Chains A and B, each alone.
Chain A
């Protein structure tokens, strides 16, 4: 059945900013969808607020709207573009919810837009708990026994009936947001209360606890002739109770027989039919009782998902691409499997390797947050590895995580009985470190059964980990590392570094082990991911390494460029770096064979048809060096690009160069000039530039001396961050003492000698009330091209990744811009940059300070590129292989005459807004973690607001980042610290003019009253229950700020903190606002921006313009000027 001819144009909705539970995988799926639609000759209209995506590149769609995914804005786009159809299944829950709303509000009917991929009914049946339960029953399967509750009273009644533990799941949320397991009434009230709030339909499902059962997922696809295939089964190593996004997972299934697996498959097929997904894919999760085999269907997602991205990368079956074709009317048998190019997509992949996915967490960024893994997802990224065995793939996946201290380790003393008991006790609570605890318990002599009882992890996986442990022991104790033993160690997934440690040689022994290994001719071979277990020849060069006999690499003719990706997403190193890598692949692919190395299954870069060759491999020195050596045997290699994938590849540069690998672009020596404080200080001095003063300290006395020398306030941070506290701004000796004391307490006891820390604290001058600026630039050794100058909205001190910023800068003078340009050039030249550089500056009292320079792509490169209509990363890749800035102007990758630092009359303003994950993190007693912005980056993603001026663009940024955006009326809670009080009257009177009523606690209220501004006084929380000190004029007399927030009588919170103390009112108010999802701002500069933005929202006159149109205008202007 061929493609439908009645669909000429399709609107695709992306997933918006990267948040926990909805990450780069939707850039991968959306990009695939756009490519398919374009190939099929369909006009593509794309909406996504996230500029750091490949899908929002201008060539991916005919009209790309980097606009908030908001119903009103979507309607304007629909009205303007009049698409024939809307494809909502590739942009995660965000797109599905938006489509649902467009359907419910009649927009789709009004403009005659057909929903393709999934109907509204199917979305409802898949997502509505009650309807889905009926589908499961009709499929002859079981759901967990459950009841719906809309209130805590109803929840209590359910608990009385079903007993504890109860699993709480809110309807229509993603990534398990708001869900959890309640073991008693207190937990039930907390979790269900939040769940009811998060659910757009104010309902939660309460169901019987199935914690500890085995968990499986199936990825299915169905076409309009009702053909169904299961693309991939996935087994969760962590049993039910840990969200699948936070579990270690493997593919295919390991601990089910065929009969048991086919039962899941039968149920899955019956469900996809029952739900009515008729042209697309879905993911279904199952629990299997490990004692009886009883199967319970947990849930389904009638769309592509994180798991489908994983399944696609695991098997080579591109689910999003095929889902798009199915939505256009093709049937599975009409779609060619593009890996074999001879067989159809209507089959089920057979794999002959093992896939392991390991999640990556960021708890160290959220001090105080409960790090227990639950049914609510908390990981920020993941790494996948393929290997010839479970052991090999687990070892590779664990080292792909790229975080010190998490891999299997036999360092230190062998755990004694007491420690083993402690480990067994600790591992009952699932955490990020559980697998290390398991391994160390085995090392200390724990039995598989003991570990099974503590964790519920299937014995099969535990036996495998135990076997790795036994082999490690053999390696450790052998008199001599012979050929056979070393080979077995490599096959079990141990890295050269781990083996070096086992042999007591430390980090430096890695080289010795590698040389020994090479002497024995023990080298990895590279096998192909081919969807069919070698049954047919594979055309697509998608490789993984394994220690076996035959390599399948093929010789090349063209010179190759190897591009190192960024590994698992983490806070500070996310999708932006995948974006820049993909650009290098796209651009250099014109003249070179591009070879991509990465281990993140969520990304576009690991789509097997992006690069000429894809290595799905860990980004460690060992793995990269082996790939380089293997590729060198296949044909010429020009070199390796390390500056596009963030810090992970950059940190390999020096060692790779030492090992003889040519590094393209900025040399490792130049990288060191920028990264090494002392050397960078010399560069600045030579160029006559200022840096904030700094010092280092190992003890409290030294810290005090340094701080006095520099002058308070100072920024303090450890030079080596591991799971502990990060940076803090310190204003006096008392706070400094507290910081050092905590650092000493957190350092391992055996590493602290007479009050001295094992590694130094870094102490910097903190630039108070300074304007911070990010500059991205390209340098070819001769010409500097400013990619963008971005002025932070928040004052200096907020991490540049968390700050909102504006391009062009909103308050900088031409003179200041000129000084930034000259300083950037001096630094780029002084360090010897070839390619991209990012410099962070601050103006304090019009003195320019250089905060730091990163000789690599920064996270703002995609934002600056989109805002200026240029392709900075592509140009950078060209410069790295030896071309000039002028060449890139000529190619059209950069503006022909000016650059991104130039300002033009009538130029629209782009605002980048960060999205923060505070909702996901709670303290062990269930309170939200503090939301204050500081020098430690904590945002997971970003959005771009693009409009005629700053207020409109900022308002759009808010709308894109937070559902609903800014309020235009209602009641604002206002509270500022003493330093900010002078600005208070202006802010408050403006709020009044805009029609808000204001409420405040005593301190703020008395200032306002002195200025004659009406204010409702609310009680302090510390006044006991708050009833005593309350003013009669408050809406509900006697209620304190937290209670008012909780009962919905406050619409916005403006709170600049006076204390970080977790017992303070400020903290409790901020926590309550997070829980209630209120717009909340914590710096006074934000308040001013917010006021202007509210005015813009009220005017309702957003410009909704595609980026293609904006670029046409920009280039037209440039040509007219030139």
Chain B
């Protein structure tokens, strides 16, 4: 039980409580669909200083279930700002709590692991007859919240209608270099934008998309996005990934997309104790030996063996060999997979950043290269 001041909307909210160590990028964090059903604790004390603006949101709404902040900014100062964070939270009914010892809470989560939690403020602290609710009663409400393990949430966050991004930036008005089918499992806005800026036409497709829908677009490659929930429940999505692999489509996955590829190849996934959420994680690219500082937001990870290539366990060698291509140097968690015999790779972290460093942005070029290479191979064949 932690006491603090009400922040954002009054009321109550429940979800899995996790912490993020990013010192910048709260607007991106709040609007990242992967945070669906999660209460986010910010470890950095001052949040909201730069307000919100019309450019930095990663989706059209705030997805976090609740927000925990030590020192919400009473004021906004930034030339791009067009509103306050507090205003956004109130408008969208996001219940938060502030002015509490957030480090104490984070240390608890670090040792006890991510867990279900609730924030209660205002009338939500009272029973219908005005009697204050007891800690036990509040706890009971929290206990009724579903656990993250076993939750299938992509349907909650995915676009319901397909839409298309045309090449932009240097490629504005040009014929597409490649066409990408991007399956929205909780897609962040930055991701298709980065593909479009590399000359791709990006068809963003709802999670309900079928393999036939994808094939009908004649894409050069298929992309599986990040998203919330337990990858162990995403059987339908895993089937879709396998369908794409079987079709020989070049494939790139990020975050949940990485877990789906892992499962499709026959690996399991598991829940991390408290996850990786922040923008300072060292990931080593085992191919180049280089280390990238990367943005993370994942509570689950792929259970694949570190070391040299192994035959993909699924389907009796159907997908050839696979290797762990990236690893988190803090805790050796698998951060990327690379198929050696088929054109598919994925990373657990966020090369699109937003928020976070741009160290891994070259992966989008790699995907474009993979699609082009695959097309040339076909032409030669």
Chain A interface residues (CB < 8 Å from chain B): 1, 225-227, 229-230, 252-262, 265-266, 290-293, 331-333, 342-344, 346-354, 388-390, 458-460, 463, 467, 527, 532-537, 548-550, 552
Contact = CB atoms under 8 A, between A and B. Distances in A.
Given A459-B75, A548-B101, A390 B110 contact: no
Interface stretch (B122-130, B213-221, B352-360): B352-360
Given A350-B43, A389-B46, A460-B49, A258 B22 contact: yes
B342 interface: no
Interface of B: 19, 21-25, 27-28, 43-46, 49-50, 53, 55-56, 70-71, 73-75, 77-80, 100-104, 106-107, 110, 278-282, 284, 289-291, 293, 329-331, 353-358
Contacts, number: 169
Given A257-B25, A347-B280, A534-B107, 15 more contacts: A252-B24, A252-B44, A256-B24, A258-B56, A262-B353, A266-B358, A331-B291, A342-B330, A351-B23, A352-B43, A352-B102, A458-B77, A532-B21, A535-B106, A536-B110
A343 B78 CA distance: 35
Contact of B103 (A229, A256, A259, A534): A534
Interface secondary structure of B, over-half rule: loop
Contacts of A252: 23-24, 44
A290 B79 contact: yes
Contacts of B104: 548-550
Contact of A388 (B70, B78, B80, B279): B70
B278 A352 contact: no
A534 B106 CA distance: 7
Contacts of A292: 79
A259 B78 contact: no
B45 A388 contact: yes
B103 A258 contact: no
B79 A550 contact: no
A346 B75 contact: no
Contacts of B102: 352
Contact of A536 (B49, B330, B353): B330
13 contacts: A253-B23, A291-B79, A344-B291, A348-B357, A351-B44, A388-B70, A389-B70, A389-B71, A460-B75, A533-B106, A534-B43, A549-B101, A550-B103
A209 to B, nearest CB: 20
A466 B62 CA distance: 31
Contacts of B331: 343
B25 A527 contact: no
B23 A333 contact: no
Given A253-B24, A348-B280, A388-B45, A333 B101 contact: no
A332 B284 CA distance: 11
A460 B73 contact: yes
Contacts of B353: 262
Nearest to A291: B79
Contacts of A261: 24
B312 to A, nearest CB: 28
Considering residues A459, A533, A550, which has the most beta carbons from chain B within 10 angstroms of its beta carbon?
A: A533
A535 B110 contact: yes
A255 B77 contact: yes
Nearest to A391: B71
Contacts of B71: 388-390
A229 B293 contact: yes
Nearest to B76: A460
Contacts of B103: 352, 527, 533-534, 548, 550
Contacts of A534: 19, 43, 103, 106-107, 110
Contacts of A262: 24, 353, 355-358
B45 A352 contact: yes
A596 to B, nearest CB: 23
A293 B79 CA distance: 7
A257 B27 CA distance: 9
A256 B77 CA distance: 9
Contact of A258 (B25, B74, B281, B293): B25
B114 to A, nearest CB: 13
Nearest to A332: B291
B290 A225 contact: yes
A265 B293 CA distance: 11
Contact of A533 (B21, B50, B79, B357): B21
A333 B293 contact: no
Contacts of B53: 257
A226 B77 contact: no
B70 A254 contact: no
B330 A550 contact: no
Contacts of A225: 289-291
